Chains A and B, each alone.
Chain A
Amino acid sequence: MRRLFDRAFTLLVVSAGLLALMLFVAIAGYLAWRGLGAVDLDFLTQPSRGAGAEGGVRYQLLGTLILIATALAAAVPPALGIGIYRGVYLTRPQARRRVSLLLFVANGVPSILYGIFGLAVFGQLLGWGKSWLAGGLLLGMMILPTLTLAFAERVDAIPKKYLEAAAGLGLRRAQIVRAVILPQSLGGLVSGALLGLARAAGETAPILFIAAVFSGATVPHGIVESPVLALPYHIFVLAQDSFQPEAETHLWAAAAVLLGVVLVFALVALPLRIRLHEEAHHG
């Protein structure tokens, strides 16, 4: 009976794993089949023409990278700050739980609400209009809970003995953070950044209001009224509004490029995460 249960459990777990793998393979395979044929160097380096039916995605790719880089730069410092404050300076478990709860709630806020908030604050209150900086900051706010939670979990997982030993040597709290906590938890920040950026790269709703246009933008030169083109918005408009067959090919090619961007993040982040883990645990 126990053996039967063990086999059934193994089958269930393996099936769940295979299902997840098959979902990813199906999405990636379909995108590659429909779009990869049109992706070449020209597609990546040429600006789009003819309402997206011709040319490439040069400025859409650039705009997406600008938005993602800004989001990362905006989200990492507060994620570190909140994670360290929660894990080191908040000593009462109840207070820690409350911060975690807030982060989980913020993580679940629909992206359209972030978009409306951004429109009210950056677009109307600050008068930036459509701005790459507003989009980057808003995406940064959106991924902040993901980053912070991943980082905070790693901080919580640091064995207490390290903190006690460092405190026993007379290190100040800031020194313990620098010498013990950060080296052991940066891997969590990288994981969180990967998850967050993958989400940010594909978000359309927040940037739709305050950062992205479909055409007419190149490299931003200022902040106010300085929008960018972005891959998700490009895909959204092509999928919604274009009836030309050429545009459909470009749509799938742009989607494959977006998937490629996310995969490149993973390929860069994974070795970095492994290296940080190795350094943190084995020196």
Chain B
Amino acid sequence: MADIPLGNLDRETTRRATSIPEPAAVDVRPVLETYGLCVRSGRRLLLRDIDLVIEPNRVLGVIGPSGVGKSTLLRCLNRMNDLVPGLVVDGDVLWHGRSIHDRGLDPDALRARIGMIFQQPVIFPGSILDNVVFGARRVNGLKRRRWHQRAEQVLRQVFLWEEVQDRLAHPATELSVGQQQRLCLARTLALEPEVVLMDEPTSALDARSTEAIEQLILDLSQRCAVVLVTHDLSQARRVCDALACLCLCHGVGQLMEQAGCAELFDNPDCRAVADRLDAAHPPPNAAAAD
């Protein structure tokens, strides 16, 4: 894997440094859109009126304070919230213009097309190879004779092939946490998703593994749309094309702003972003006043 110090670079500088071309602006129709999305748990409203647009080949960062409902929002996009008893979703999510709540739409097929990476890597008991093809063999009917070939393809995409090619039959739990997270990404990519939802994928990783995952996100945006929930504003600046800022209003998560990354950082409407930017880079007169 290219060893690139991502540091405080912004998205454009990172693209140039990693020789990742700007995605061709062929199809800018949204892959996913949400309209008036509300989520309730019993009587408690968790999210209110979220209107979000997710475009192909773009990385959308979702930022906001803890407990604002970022992960809940993410799980609405592939109907993972259906699996949580007591959670009610109102409003709509459109996938290529069609409601994901349509009766005729298969939620399992939807989840295969809209993959998800969790905060902590989830490794199934079994070998590295078993884990890579775990979904593809069951959902796409990948034949056993093609397992190895498919595994190599996606493990190369996540820059893990060189590290594991000699031990595909070894238990996947032997891998480091960073490698496990890349393995999870490979497992999702084996299903050829259109959108990858990432719920703070680097929060459990060290700096080096975080760099690797960020590099992967940039690379991944060449093939599909990425929605990245993150707490780390500098990470958002490095890898996201656009940002959606959620804030708590009277205890309910609301979308305050969705804008291009540079626009939002340079001129933030969202109080949470402005506050955190101020905290990171206090104005000179503020320091003098203190």
* CB closest chain-A residue, reference B120: A161
**B138 CB within 8 Å of chain A:** yes
Residue of A165, A171, A184, A283 touching B171 (CB-CB under 8 A) = A283
A92 proximity list for chain B (CB < 8 A): 85
CB distance from A87 to the nearest CB of B (A): 13
User: Does A165 lie within 8 Å of B126, measured CB to CB?
Assistant: no
Pairwise interchain contact A175-B138, C-beta atoms closer than 8 A: yes
A22-30, A58-66, A139-147, A274-282 - interface stretch: A274-282
Does A271 belong to the interface (CB within 8 Å)? no
User: What mask results when residues 182 to 201 of chain B are scored 1 for a CB within 8 Å of chain A, else 0?
Assistant: 00100110010000000000
A168 contacts partner chain B, Cβ-Cβ < 8 Å: yes
A169 at interface, CB cutoff 8 A: yes
| Chain A interfacial residues counted at CB < 8 A | 25
For residue A240, CB closer than 8 A to chain B, the reply is no
Chain B: which residue is nearest A160 at the CB level?
B83
A residues in contact with B113, CB < 8 Å? 170
Closest B residue, CB atoms, query A184: B125
Interfacial residues of chain A within 260-283, with CB under 8 A of chain B in the complex: 279-283
Residues of B within 8 A of A165 (CB): 118, 122, 124, 184
Measured between beta carbons, the chain B residues less than 8 angstroms from A170 are 108-113, 135, 139, 191
**Cross-interface CB contact of B138 among A93, A171, A280, A282, cutoff 8 Å:** A171
Count of chain B residues with a beta carbon within 8 Å of a chain A beta carbon: 31
Report if B95 contacts A (CB, 8 A). Answer: no
A164→B127 CA distance, assembly (Å): 19
Dominant SS among interface residues on chain B: helix
- Is residue B130 contacting chain A, with contact meaning CB distance below 8 A? yes
CB distance from B131 to the nearest CB of A (A): 9
Report the minimum CB–CB distance from A280 to chain B (whole Å).
6
B113-146 interface mask toward A, CB cutoff 8 Å, 1 = contact, 0 = none?
A: 1011010101011110010001100110000000
B residues near A179, Cβ cutoff 8 Å:
124, 134, 138
Q: In the bound complex, what is the Cα–Cα distance between A166 and B139 (angstroms)?
A: 10
Most buried by B among A92, A171, A180, A280: A171
Q: B78 at the A/B interface (Cβ < 8 Å)?
A: yes
Q: Are A169 and B187 closer than 8 Å at their CB atoms?
A: yes
B173 within 8 A of A: yes
- Complex CA–CA separation, A171 to B80 (angstroms): 12
- Residues of B185-220 at the interface with A, using a CB-CB cut-off of 8 Å, are 187-188, 191
Nearest chain-B residue to A173 (Cβ)?
B108
Q: A169-B134, A171-B135 are in contact. Are A164 and B122 (CB under 8 A)?
A: yes
Between A and B, 30 residue pairs with Cβ closer than 8 Å are A93-B85, A161-B120, A162-B122, A165-B122, A166-B124, A167-B80, A167-B108, A168-B118, A168-B188, A169-B111, A169-B139, A169-B191, A170-B108, A170-B110, A170-B111, A170-B112, A170-B113, A171-B135, A171-B138, A171-B139, A175-B138, A179-B138, A180-B124, A279-B125, A280-B125, A281-B125, A282-B173, A283-B130, A283-B171, A283-B173
Residues of B within 8 A of A (CB): 78, 80, 83, 85, 108-113, 115-116, 118, 120, 122, 124-127, 130, 134-135, 138-139, 171-173, 184, 187-188, 191
Closest 5 CB pairs of A and B: A170-B112, A169-B135, A165-B122, A168-B116, A283-B126
